[in-house]
Structure 1
Amino acid sequence: MSNASPGTTGVPRIALNPIQWMASDDGWLDPSKAPEREQLLSLVKQAGFDSVMAEVPADWTVQRYQAVLDEVGLAPAPGYFVCRSDGRDGTENDVVASAGAIARQHAELGMTQIGLGLGMGKDMPRVAHPAQAYDADPSRVEAVTTLIGRIADAMVAEGVRPNLHPHVGTWIETEEEGRAVLDALPDSQLGFLPDTGHLAWAGSDVGKFVKDYAERIPFVHVKDCRLSVAAQGREQGWGYQQTVLSGLWVEPGRGELDLKGIIDKLPSTFDGWLMVEVDRPDIADCYESAVESARWMHATFR
């Protein structure tokens, strides 16, 4: 299976996951805050993006979703599956079944890749103690890896490969934990979806991490942040939400990450997606946040 869907060799595709419209006042995400789906997709296109993260609404068919994308003029980019199990809580079979269903939707959309991360709830220990490898447990990582292997088997059977997404606040948070999972499973079964912001917040050398697994990366979540806020949060014991509310996330190019240097670690032939995510916009107007994100991305990577 190819690491990326066919595109123009060496020219990445720029996409948006429009989560800035979902940012809530408590430093979390609330999908109900976003405009209705057709309007949201239209705003993404008007802001300057040609691709959007694939996410079929629960009450829509894949055909309806594809028709709206076609009408607006957007192409789907790989979506995301959340594994809400630690591999030993008894829900593993249900999680695998859900993963297979999401993979079938992606296959119907012509996608061959999808993101895969662990769930994150407000009451989870690592949300209270983010980016610190809190309560690290190799046996838990082993159980999660086994479950991810089962999820991967179910997805690959549908023609869609999952790609591991280490995420602050979850049980696969750090570079060490991410590498453990990636090294345990073959690239035919599991790729790598780096998120520049989450990896940096968790203390990773993001450029080296990307370079080491570059051939397994079909898309990247491009997220900028203020590392100074992350450091202050660790020093003062802030939780995930307080760190976010203190100004952690910003539009690409407005923060403290060397995003171009990180992306330059990908192969020169990379033609996958660079997917912008702004979990909480620094520019107050969500549409203007998306416009500025598109402008900077096209100027920097095209």
Structure 2
Amino acid sequence: MSLRIGANPIGWSNDDLLEIGGDIPLETCLAEAREAGFVGMELGNKFPRTPDALKAALAPFDMACIGGWHSVELLERSAEEEFARAKPHRDLLKAMGTDVFIVAETSNAIHGRRDMPLSKRPIMQPDDWAAYGARMTDFAERLAAEGFRLCYHHHMGTIVQSEADINAFMAATTLPVNLLLDTGHATWGGADPAALAKRYRSRISHVHCKDVRPTVRTRVEAQDWSFLDAILGKGDDLGIYTVPGDGCVDYVAVFEALSGYSGWVVVEAEQDPNKANPLAYAKKGVAHLKAALHEAGLA
């Protein structure tokens, strides 16, 4: 697979607070995504969940289905139970011809709670990683047998947030568990995304590209905001996340560390569309990614 630039609809409609962007039709999201230069979309709450309907929604915009998020609860379930629970998602992705299976542990996550500051996020005990990693590896092997690549999404407000968490998770798992490198979550979580890219290059199978506004991050951390307040911004202020080229992430360094990468790079900037025009920001993100990919020798 060649390198392709796609998008997540989170810049148009929020999956954790459905009223954010709730008035924006799916057709508008897809038309603007295509105009911005994207050739694929990840799934969001407005997308049909049957193959025929999803193909019909994407076809007018010549847009591929990249894949989609699946919440796992392997802290509480066995790999066998989780695999059975994931059957509708597996069936949809298989019908759409994609092998990208994005997962994150959400059994005790707080990123969807606006009343919960990030300082209250769950922390794994050192002795618990081995058993959890074994269940995740078992789950990934079951997916691999059906042709899927498990792409684990480290995420603010979850058990895999910090650089130490990512390192512990990767040490506790083996292939076919892959890492979804998210430049925005890595940066906000205190890691250097380029260093993570270099360290785990052989196990990175999917990339989410968003940027971080450092002045907002300083305020968010000093005042201990919730994840949702941070990404949406309070009052008229913009949130912590934005598109590539509008923050502090060095994308040339990230892509240089990903030398030889083949797959999707996905713009995923969670913002309030009433504050950050989705089309304008999408165009800015695509232009910056193309320039950085070219400079890094990946395009």
Q: TM over 0.5, yes or no?
A: yes
Paired position in structure 1 for 2:287: 295
Task: Quote the residue 1:160 is aligned against.
Answer: 148
Counterpart position of 1:249: 241
For residue 193 of structure 1, give the secondary structure of its aligned residue in structure 2: strand
Q: Is the 2:130–2:172 Cα contact (8 Å) retained in structure 1?
A: no
- 1:19 alignment partner in structure 2: 10
Where 1:170 maps in the other structure, the secondary structure is coil
1:114 shift after superposition:
2.0
Size of the alignment, in residue pairs?
A: 285
Aligned equivalents of 1:233 and 1:296: distance in 2? 26
Cα 1:78–1:57 shift into 2, 3 Å: same
Q: Is 2:170 aligned against 1:176?
A: no
For residues 297 and 220 of structure 1, the distance between their equivalents in structure 2, rounded to whole angstroms, comes to 12
> Which residues of 2 match residues 139-150 of structure 1 at below 5 A?
139-150=127-138
Range that drifts further, 94-103 or 223-232 = 94-103
3-state secondary structure, aligned to 1:194 = strand
Cα shift readout 1:164-187 (whole Å, capped 9, x = no counterpart): 111010111122222222222222
Give the match for residue 296 of structure 2.
Answer: none
- The answer to whether the 8 A contact 1:125-1:134 is kept is no
Q: What RMSD over aligned residues (CA atoms) do the two structures have, in Å? A: 3.0
Deviation per CA, 1:8-52: give whole Å up to 9, x if none.
xxxx2111002011249xxx5427716333443222112221121
Letter in 1 for 2:214: L
Provide TM-score, normalisation by structure 2. Answer: 0.82
- For structure 1, the 5+ residue unaligned runs are 1-5
Between the aligned partners of 1:123 and 1:16, the Cα distance in structure 2 is 21
Q: 1:264 aligns with which of 256, 263, 285?
A: 256
SS of the equivalent of 2:86 reads: helix
Asked whether the 8 Å contact 2:155–2:185 carries over to 1, the reply is yes
Of all paired residues, the percent bearing the same amino acid is 24
1:138 paired to 2:144: no
Show the counterpart of 1:35: 24
Amino acid at match of 2:264: W
Which fold has the larger relative contact order, with Cα–Cα distance below 8 Å and residues 6 or more apart in sequence? Answer: 1
Contact 2:193/2:254, CA 8 A, preserved across alignment: yes
Distance 2:141 2:280 in 1: 41
TM superposition score normalised by structure 1:
0.81
Change (3 A) 1:121 1:135: closer
Judged with a 3 Å threshold, the aligned counterparts in structure 2 of structure 1 residues 219 and 126 are, in CA distance, closer, same or farther, namely: farther
